Chains A and B, each alone.
Chain A
Amino acid sequence: MTQTGPFRLSSGGRLIDRAYPLPFRFDGRQLRGLRGDTLASALLANGQMLMGRSFKYHRPRGPIASGAEEPNALLGLGHGGRFEPNQRATTTPLVGGMATTSQNCWPSLTADVGAVNSWLYRFFPAGFYYKTFMWPRGFWKHVFEPVIRRSAGLGKAPTEADPDTYEQAYAHVDLVVVGGGIAGLTAALDAAKSGKSVWVLEQTPHFGGRTPTDHADGQARVDALIAELRAMPNVNLRRNTMATGLYDHGYLLAREALADHDPNAGIPRQRLWRIRAGHVVVASGALERPLSFAGNDVPGVMLASAVRDFIGDYGVAPGRRIVVVTNNDDAYRTALAALDAGLEVPVILDARSSAGGALPEAARARGIRVLTDAAIAGIKGGQSVEAVKLCAHSGSGEVTETIEADCVAMSGGWSPVVHLWSHCGGKLNWSDTQSMFAPDPNRPPTGADGKAMASCVGAASGDLLVADATGAAAESAIMPVWVMPTHATRKMKFKMFLDFQNDVKVSDVELAAQEGYHSVEHTKRYTTLGMATDQGKVSNINGLAVLSGALNQPIPATGTTTFRPPYTPLTLGTIAAEARGELFQPLRKTPMHGWHQAKGAYWEPVGHWRRPYCYPQGAESHAEAVAREIRAVRASVGTLDASTLGKIVVKGPDAGKFLDMMYTGMMSTLPVGKCRYGLICNENGFLIDDGVAARLSEDTWLVHTTTGGADRMHGHFEDWLQCEWWDWQVYTANVTEQWAQIAVVGPKARVLLERLGGMDLSAEALPFMGWAEGEIAGIPARVYRISFSGELSFEVAVPANRGLELWEKLHEAGADLNITPYGTEAMHIMRAEKGFIMIGDETDGTVIPQDLGMSWAISKKKEDYIGKRAQQRSHMTDPDRWKLVGLESLDGRMLPDGVYAVAEGVNGNGQRNVQGRVTSTYISPTLDKPIAMGLVRHGPERMGEVLEFPVAGQESYKARICDPVFYDKEGSRANG
Chain B
Amino acid sequence: MLTLTCPCCGVAAEETELHAGGEAHLKRFGPGSSDAEFEGYLFARKNPRGVHFERWRHAYGCGKWFLAARCTATLQVFATYSAQTPYPPAEVVAAIRAARPDWQPDWTETPTTPAESPNA
Contacts and interface: CB of A to CB of B under 8 A. Distances in A.
B16 to A, nearest CB: 10
Interface stretch (A414-422, A764-772, A795-803, A863-871): A863-871
B28 interface: yes
Main secondary structure of the interface of B (DSSP, over half): loop
Contacts of A449: 76-77
Contacts of A868: 30-31
Contact of B57 (A448, A719, A727, A869): A719
A22 B75 CA distance: 51
A450 interface: yes
B74 interface: yes
Contacts of B59: 715
B2 A725 contact: no
A276 B2 CA distance: 10
Contact of B117 (A248, A683, A725, A869): A725
B3 A869 contact: no
A863 B118 CA distance: 7
Interface in A858-885: 862-864, 868-870, 872-873
A196 interface: no
B33 interface: yes
A718 B118 CA distance: 19
A811 interface: no
B interface, size bucket: 20 to 34
Nearest to A711: B59
Nearest to A657: B119
A365 interface: no
Interface string A713-727: 001001100111111
B63 interface: yes
Interface string A449-468: 11000000000000000000
Among B63, B99, B115, B117, max chain A CB count under 10 A is at: B117
Interface residues of A, number: 33
Contacts of B118: 863-864
Nearest to A449: B76
B33 A869 contact: yes
Given A247-B1, A249-B3, A450-B74, A718 B65 contact: yes
B64 A683 contact: no
Contact of B99 (A450, A722, A864): A450
Nearest to B71: A450
Nearest to B77: A448
A719 B31 contact: no
A864 B74 contact: no
B11 interface: no
Given A446-B75, A683-B42, A868-B31, A249 B1 contact: yes
Given A726-B83, A870-B42, A249 B75 contact: yes
B117 A723 contact: no
B5 to A, nearest CB: 9
Interface string A695-737: 0000000000000000000010011001111110000000000
Interface in B1-44: 1-3, 14-15, 19, 21, 28-33, 35, 38, 42
Interface in B75-118: 75-77, 83-84, 99, 115, 117-118
Given A249-B1, A450-B74, A661-B117, A723 B55 contact: yes
Nearest to A276: B3
A623 B109 CA distance: 63
A447 B117 CA distance: 40
A450 B100 CA distance: 11
Given A868-B31, A869-B38, A722 B119 contact: no
Contact of B75 (A448, A726, A864): A448
B28 A248 contact: no
B74 A726 contact: no
B65 A448 contact: no
B1 A726 contact: no
A863 B31 contact: yes
A872 B33 CA distance: 11
Contacts of A725: 115, 117
Nearest to B114: A724
A499 interface: no
Given A276-B3, A446-B75, A864-B30, A724 B57 contact: no
Contacts of A862: 119
Contacts of B65: 718-719, 722-723
29 contacts: A248-B2, A248-B15, A249-B1, A249-B2, A249-B3, A276-B3, A446-B74, A446-B76, A448-B2, A448-B77, A450-B99, A660-B119, A683-B42, A715-B57, A718-B57, A718-B63, A719-B57, A719-B65, A722-B83, A723-B55, A723-B83, A724-B115, A725-B115, A725-B117, A862-B119, A864-B30, A864-B117, A869-B29, A869-B31
Interface of A: 247-249, 251, 276, 425, 446-450, 657, 660-661, 683-684, 715, 718-719, 722-727, 862-864, 868-870, 872-873
* 3 A-B pairs with the lowest CB-CB distances in the bound complex, closest first: A450-B76, A726-B84, A722-B65
